[in-house]
Amino acid sequence: MFTHEDLSQLQANSLKMQSFIRQQTFSPEMDKSLRRFSSWEVAELILKINQSTFRGRLAVDPSLPDGLVEEDGRQRWYSLEEVNELRRKMKVKRQSLLPKRPAGKRAIRCAIANFKGGAGKSTVALHFAHAAALDGYRVLAVDFDPQATLSHSMGLTNVSEDHTVWGIMARDLERETNRMNAAASGAQSGTSLPQRRIPSSISDLGLADLRVNDFIKPTSWPTIDIVPSCANAAFVEFASAQYRHLNPEWSFFAAVSRYLDSIPDDAYDLIIFDCPPAIGYQSMNAVFATDVLYIPSGPGYWEYDSTTSFIGQLAEALGDLSEGFGKTFPAGKVSLPKVFQDIRFLVTRYEPSNDLHRAMVEAFSKVFGDRLTKNPIEMTRAVEQSGRFLSSIYEIDYRDMTRDTWRRARGSFDRAYEEFKETFLNAWENLEDEQ
């Protein structure tokens, strides 16, 4: 017979192994660090300019960063900070190398979501975040998934649940309840409005006093921050149901959106959500906060079946919330019914030589039409290796494998990212200015 105590012991044993794996994966200081990028990577793959042009600019402009030079003098290696300095200072054919960003608009928000685990949500979120950072964008990742795969891949493992999405939601409950109580006491009507009470088990946590930046943690990438998750945050679904009972008027689905609205518009360019494999309080917060919904799916029948179920249940949940809250309760800048700037489907773990995979992609295409992205993410040995070492293909040094293997894997994610970039840029341009 087994109880929760046995489960706790199993977790303790697993944490020991987790620590060992972390030692093998990260630096001796137990911190994940970002590698440098070779001059040919910087020129051809990051800045997308000719290598001879790049070398020529370095020769004539002493203000450009030198990078680290190999002993034989044949190769230079640049940090991401130096890459971004190159991007700011260099022009090619009088054109800036800075990434496109609509003026005067907040960061564009993109949710990576599906119902089924193993669809590649965290892998896609990680690679898109890294690709965007190499593209010059400032990225905030928000990990909604209690499995915390994205957080671990970003190098964060020692995270308190108070500083996860759960903390954001509990903070919002307390602040919104206080606001409602203040409005009720200040009402001039003859009707007594109800006062909602927050129990000391919540108010004593001090979450209402946390600042916006208290939830945001740096990563090994200088232009990527993250709101992390942790396994202890798995109870958020149970807690949120209790919170709704404490204050039925609380628009719980808009908690994260209200939080993100408080971040300065120019702090980030792109905000990426890694959603849990379920439709619950956390995933609905992600959905209501996002501008673009990206739905990854494996190339098999069961993945297709799960994706179909996901969009059906999501539609029902959005409809129910819109009908229940639409004309009654405030939701910050969230409008009801929920409107997405774009919705896309992305096939992952695709093997071009697999007949079943090709047939399923064709089925996806017939059903979803131009909502299906043109470039699936291929399953390669390098992709498998990146997952095993909690790293993206962009973090792996190409010298650790054959360059062809590395470039094939990177090429697959590059193509998928470029399509993702086109999607969020179009949505960004159409995003209404907010007051």
One-character DSSP codes across 226-284? EE---GGGGGHHHHHHHHHHH-TT--GGGHHHHHHHTS-TTS-SEEEEE--SS-SHHHH
Q: Within 13 A of 194's CA, how many CA atoms are on the CB side? A: 7
pLDDT higher at 283 or 433:
283
Position 435 scores a pLDDT of 39
Position 74 scores a pLDDT of 75
Contact 85, 97 (CB under 8 A): no
Position 387 scores a pLDDT of 58
Q: What is the mean pLDDT of residues 137-142?
A: 98
Quote the percentage of the chain above a pLDDT of 90: 46
Contact 241, 292 (CB under 8 A): no
Q: What is the mean pLDDT of residues 132-150?
A: 95
Phi-psi region of 345 (alpha: psi -120 to 50; beta: other; left: phi over 0): beta
Whether the pLDDT of residue 12 is over 70: the answer is no
Contact 116, 277 (CB under 8 A): yes
Whether the pLDDT of residue 11 is over 70: the answer is no
Contact 287, 293 (CB under 8 A): yes
Whether the pLDDT of residue 28 is over 50: the answer is no
Q: What is the mean pLDDT of residues 151-162?
A: 88
pLDDT, the chain, mean:
85
Whether the pLDDT of residue 4 is over 50: the answer is no
Digit-coded pLDDT (tens) for 53-102:
999 999 999 999 989 987 766 788 999 999 999 999 998 888 899 999 99
β-strand partners of 270:
108, 139
Position 342 scores a pLDDT of 94
**DSSP class per residue in 129-177:** HHHHHHTT--EEEEE--TT-HHHHHTT-----GGGSHHHHHHHHHHHHH
Digit-coded pLDDT (tens) for 314-355:
898 888 877 776 555 555 567 778 889 999 999 998 888 899
pLDDT higher at 28 or 297:
297
Q: Within 13 A of 300's CA, how many CA atoms are on the CB side? A: 7
Whether the pLDDT of residue 21 is over 90: the answer is no
β-strand partners of 297:
347
Instruction: State the amino acid at position 31 in one-letter form.
Output: D
Nearest to 76 by CA among 93, 59, 88, 89: 59
Whether the pLDDT of residue 18 is over 70: the answer is no
Phi then psi for 211, rounded to 5 degrees?
-85, 165
Local confidence band at 240 (pLDDT 50, 70, 90 cut-offs): confident
Whether the CA torsion 339, 369, 282, 414 is positive or negative: it is negative
Q: What is the mean pLDDT of residues 103-114?
A: 94
Q: Please tell me the distance from the alpha carbon of residue 168 to that of residue 160, in angstroms, as a whole number.
A: 12
Digit-coded pLDDT (tens) for 276-310:
888 888 888 999 999 999 999 988 888 888 888 88
β-strand partners of 190:
none
Whether the CA torsion 104, 106, 107, 113 is positive or negative: it is negative
Instruction: State the amino acid at position 247 in one-letter form.
Output: N
- Whether the link from the prior residue into 337 is cis, omega within 30° of 0, is yes
Quickly tell me which residue has 């295409």 as its tokens.
365
